[in-house]
Structure formats: structure tokens, C-alpha cells
Structure 1
């Protein structure tokens, strides 16, 4: 069945905003400007401040949630699906995980390319699968275990491509290795966050937009307050500011004053994360989780292609192989092979189609309903 214009709009919105999210963050990292007190020009390396901006974008999802709820109320749907009360503090643990994982990933983005950053984020499948078995009591299918193994192989190939592309520069090589390891470490934390979110969202029937917005509120407030002690904590080689501290928000604002385009990059990051979350949830509801996974994979291709065009990184053929293996692993884990197998079986035996429709007949309720 053909997609409607609204579904095409949602798919395009998810692809575009998801790509802008990573590209705008990397664009901000690439700027060089003077800081406070007439300090010499240096890169805009302020990962924790960027993470605060990302949480501000997530926080705005609460506004989208309440707008949708008002719309549903105006259509008379609120009485049929009354909102379930829950303690917002339930989302504090996943918010802390999100805050930690996101901050580490922004640190890592300064050390590696945007395409490798996006590809290595696929490691979350490995840890999500293992943690769901350990803490949610799930049993993974054979295809999911194969997907995890394929993802591990893909990560090895992508990491090897990074090493080979920087083998002639020892400083860059060590930086890339550190960045890749930080991304994978962050995916462990993100996997814990996802397991906690799934447990709380399904148990308390919380709408995903409300969950994202609540976590964004916690992350924005907590990380904003942490910027104060970070201003004084020495960070050594991990620091990208002249004072050598963990984060220097004042230096960031001074650099913005010297180079106003940094504001455009930061606003692109904040706005894109809000629209990306809304579009992703809507795609899952209007189309399917499989479609969302495919669009997320296309996002990696867009980020990779634009990074090459902009000259942010050099092409390495091993990245193609690594991406294809990662894509295979993601497809196996998310069950994308099943509709393909069904399609093949239908083409072989058309007479069985009517019987299958009778067995699987009926309407399917949307995953996410506006409450």
C-alpha cells in the first residue's frame, strides 16, 4: 500500500532532522575562534554545553506531548483513554544514564569522524540485547543472536578502517582509538537507559513523547547545574579550552561572540533533536518500527556522504564493508528478514495467501496512542 503524504512527510522529517543532529554537532566542533580574555584561537570543544542543548531539545518534546493531548481532548478522545498518573522521578535513573552517555558521546565526537561516530552507535544493539536477557527476562531468537554477532563484526571493521585512515599520524591515531572506545562505552550506558525506559514506559503506560520530555527536563536541569563545578575541575588532555578544565561555558559564549555561526550549529542541534524524537515516534506509530530502523540506517548514509562532500573526512573502502555488516546485524536483530522471507514464500505459493490472511486477520492497534 502506498504511503500517504503525511507518512512521507514524517519519514523525510526523521531522515533530515536525524542527519542534521549529528552534522550540526560536528559542524560546531569544527569551528575555531578566540575565547575569553583575548585567548588564542582554538576549536569549539564544549561537549557538556552541547549536551545541555540536546536536553533542551528533548525537554521541548513535553510541549509537543501536551499539544497532542489537547488535540485529542478536543476530539473527545481523552475520556476513552484517560492519562495514567506516574511518579516523574521514575525517569530520573534513565535521565542520568542519558546525561552520562550523551556527554561521553559528545566528547568522543571531537575525536572521531561523524560517520564513524554514527556507525559505532550501532553497538547499542549488543548491550541492549544482553541486558534485556539479564534484567527483563527475555529470550532472544536465533536471528537476534546472529544480529548481535554481525554487529560485533561490523564494529571491528569500522574500527579497523579508522585505524588505517590515521596510521601515519600517531597523535590522531591515539585520539581516534580513544574516541571509538568512548562511543562504545557510551552505548553500554545508553543500553541501560533503554532497558529502564522500556520497563517504565510499558509498566506505567507513559507516552514516549512525555517520557523523552521528562528525561530532557531532568537532564537539562542537572547538567546545567553541573556546569558550575565543571568550570573548576581540571581535565588535562581531555580539555579543549585554554583553562584546561572539564568544561568552560564562559569560554563557549565568548567563542560564540567571535563566531556567530556557532549559534546556528547549536540551534540546529537543539531543534533537530526535538523534531527527530517526534518524527521517530510518529513513524513507529504511522508506519512501523522496521521503517524507523531503515530510515535510521539511511541517516548514517546521509551523514557519511555529506561528511565526504564537505571534506570532513577521507574515504576508506573498509567503511562500506563495515556499514553493510552493521546494517545486516541491525536488520537481523530487528526482524527485517521476516517480511522478506514472507514475501518470498508468498511468491512461491500464491494459494497460501488467502489462508494466511484469514489466520492473521484483524486490526492492529498502534504502538503509541495519545493519552
Structure 2
């Protein structure tokens, strides 16, 4: 079936804004500028402030939801289903997970390449699958277990590629690259917990996706903004790149922005793109399919990788190609993208396998609604 112009626009928006989200965050990290009190020029290393900007983008989805709701109520036949009434505090636990995972990932992005950052986020499949079995009572079918094993293999290959490139490149120290990769994997465990919490406590209330994203964005923005105050006084030694070597120096960030206004453009790109990416992702799932959303999400990894190579942020490594292909295969199997091909075989019978993969697709479509970066 041919796509309509609106569906093509949504797919292009999701691919473009999803790519811009990671690339703009990495672009901000690559800037160097003096800080406060005429401190020497140093890189813009402010992951927690960047995370606040990302949650501001998610919060804007709540504004969009209420604008759409007001417009819908004025129409003769309202179409928006608000779902059941719910306690907004239900979103607090998943929002705390989102806040923690996002902050860790922005720290990791300072240490490793944008392409590896995007590829390693595929690890969320492993932990989401295992946690859904343990806490949601879900039964994974054979293809999903195979997908998880293949994803693990892909992560090993990407990690090996980073290990080899870390010895050759001057952009990142080998120790930083390894630490960054491990932090990304750790963040995916927390992101998987977030998805399980949403599945168990939030989605049974049939909350509108934009409202869900916006509510979590509200909690993340408020809590992390408040936490910037104690972070200003917590020393972390050599772990931090800011002159005062504290967990987060927001004042230093604003001083750097004053010396290098282009940083604002990178931060705005991150904030605005996450809002449009969430809207486009939700709309693609609704208007086309969750399968298409998974494919587009994989394609943005290719775009991020291509742009990073083109602007000289990283060098080409064949192992990364192999790792990406393996990760893509693992994600395809886990999300049931092979099912339409198998359905054409005369010996194929739709049964438990078909049901399990459809469940996996739905889970993937819901779980990636508030994906960060």
C-alpha cells in the first residue's frame, strides 16, 4: 500500500529530528570556550544541563496535547480519547528512571562517538525482554530469545570496534571510550526498568502518548533543575571537565554560552528535536505501524554515523559496520520484522510465534515513546 504525503512527512520528520537530537547534543559537546572568571577555554561538558533541556522538550509535548485537546473540543465530533482519570504521580517513578538514564547517557556521549552511542542503545532490547519476563509475566517466543542473543553479540562487536578505534584515534582516550560504552549499557538497564514500570502501572490507564511524554518531561525537568543546585557544590575530582571539577557547573555553562553563542543553537536543536521526534514517533506508530517506527529508528543510526564521518567527528571502522548489521538483525528478530517474510512460506502457520512477536512489536512501540537523545 502506497504511503500518503502525510505519512511520508511523518516518516521524514521522525528520521530527521531523531538524527538531529543526537547530533546536536554531540555538537554542543565539541565546542570549546572560556568559562566564568576568565577561566581557560575548555570543552562544553555539561551533561546534566543538557538533560534539563531534553526534558524541557518533552514537557512541550504536554503543551501540544492541551492545545490539541482545546481545538478538538471545539469541533462537532471530538476525536481525542483522554483515557481514564489517573494520578499524575504514577509517572514519577518512570520519570526518575528516565532522568537518571538520560543524564548517564549524556555523560557517556562526552566520552564516546555519536554512532557508538546510538548503536549501543540497542542494548535496551536485552533488558526490556528479560525484565518483562520477570515482572510482567510475559513469555518470549524463540525468535525473541534469538534476537536478544544476537543483540549481545552485536554489542560485543561494537565494543570491540571502540576498543580498536580508541587506540588509534586522538579524539577520545581509550579509558574514556570504554567507560562511556559501559555507562550507555548501564543507562539501558535503567531505561528498561522505566519501560516495565510504564507497562505495569501507566498504560493500563490508556493515557494519551503526548500526555504521558509531557507528564514525565514535567517531573524530569522540575526535579533535575532543582538538583542542579546541589550538583554545583559536589566535587568529583578528575571525573568532571569543568574548571571547578564539580558534578555540574551550570554557571560555567552559561558563561561558555556567553563566549560562544553557537552553543545555544546546539542546545535548542536538542530541545526542539526531541519534542518533534516524540510527536512524529507516536504519529508513525498510529498512522503507519510500530514496525515502520523500528525501521526508521534503525535508519537514524545510519544518518548519525554518516554525518559524524562527514564532519570528521570519527573515523571509519569496518568492525562498526559489522556490529551495526548484527544489532539490526537482533532488533529485527526481537520486534518480529521477519514475520511478513515467513508468512509467505507455504509451511508457515500463524500461532504462538505470531502472537508473541505481535506483542513484542506493541511493547516496542509503547516503550520508545519517550526515548531520549
Answer whether TM exceeds 0.5 for this pair: yes
Moved more, 159-168 or 273-282: 159-168
Moved more, 314-323 or 166-175: 166-175
- The alpha-carbon deviation at position 63 of structure 1 amounts to 1.3
Check whether the contact 1:14–1:280 (CA below 8 A) recurs between aligned residues.
yes
CA displacement, residues 264-315 of structure 1 (integer Å, 9 cap, x when unaligned): 0000000000000000000000000000000000000000000000000011
- The alpha-carbon deviation at position 168 of structure 1 amounts to 4.8
Q: CA–CA distance in 2 between the matches of 1:107 and 1:164? A: 21
CA displacement, residues 207-226 of structure 1 (integer Å, 9 cap, x when unaligned): 11111100000000000000
Q: CA–CA distance in 2 between the matches of 1:269 and 1:154? A: 28
Q: CA–CA distance in 2 between the matches of 1:79 and 1:42? A: 52
Matched residue, 1:329:
330
- The alpha-carbon deviation at position 53 of structure 1 amounts to 0.2
Matched residue, 1:102:
102
Q: What is the TM-score normalised by the length of structure 2?
A: 0.90
Check whether the contact 2:69–2:80 (CA below 8 A) recurs between aligned residues.
no
Check whether the contact 2:145–2:334 (CA below 8 A) recurs between aligned residues.
yes
Q: How do residues 77-116 of structure 1 correspond to structure 2 at under 5 angstroms?
A: 77-78=77-78, 81=81, 83-116=83-116
Matched residue, 1:4:
4
Structure 2 residue runs of 5 or longer lacking an equivalent are 350-364, 367-373
CA displacement, residues 167-226 of structure 1 (integer Å, 9 cap, x when unaligned): 257981111000000000000000001111122332111111111100000000000000
Pair 1:289-2:286 in alignment: no
Q: CA–CA distance in 1 between the matches of 2:181 and 2:24? A: 19
- The alpha-carbon deviation at position 71 of structure 1 amounts to 3.3
Q: What is the TM-score normalised by the length of structure 1?
A: 0.91
Q: CA–CA distance in 1 between the matches of 2:77 and 2:47? A: 42
Q: CA–CA distance in 1 between the matches of 2:168 and 2:12? A: 40
Check whether the contact 2:97–2:193 (CA below 8 A) recurs between aligned residues.
yes
- Partner SS for 1:313: coil
Matched residue, 1:17:
17
Pair 1:302-2:303 in alignment: yes
Matched residue, 1:52:
52
Q: How do residues 244-255 of structure 1 correspond to structure 2 at under 5 angstroms?
A: 244-255=245-256
Matched residue, 1:163:
163
CA displacement, residues 85-124 of structure 1 (integer Å, 9 cap, x when unaligned): 1000000000000000000000000000000000000000
Check whether the contact 2:91–2:202 (CA below 8 A) recurs between aligned residues.
no
Check whether the contact 1:201–1:207 (CA below 8 A) recurs between aligned residues.
no
Q: CA–CA distance in 1 between the matches of 2:121 and 2:345? A: 34
Q: CA–CA distance in 2 between the matches of 1:182 and 1:81? A: 39
The alignment covers a number of residue pairs equal to: 350
CA displacement, residues 127-164 of structure 1 (integer Å, 9 cap, x when unaligned): 00000001111000101001100100000000000000
Q: CA–CA distance in 1 between the matches of 2:90 and 2:38? A: 46
Matched residue, 1:231:
232
Structure 1 residue runs of 5 or longer lacking an equivalent are 353-366
- Partner SS for 2:313: coil
Moved more, 150-159 or 162-171: 162-171
Q: CA–CA distance in 1 between the matches of 2:245 and 2:92? A: 30
Q: CA 1:235–1:336 in 2, change beyond 3 Å: closer, same or farther?
A: same
Matched residue, 1:313:
314
Pair 1:64-2:43 in alignment: no
Check whether the contact 2:81–2:208 (CA below 8 A) recurs between aligned residues.
no
Q: CA–CA distance in 2 between the matches of 1:75 and 1:334? A: 38
Matched residue, 1:172:
173
Q: CA 1:314–1:82 in 2, change beyond 3 Å: closer, same or farther?
A: closer
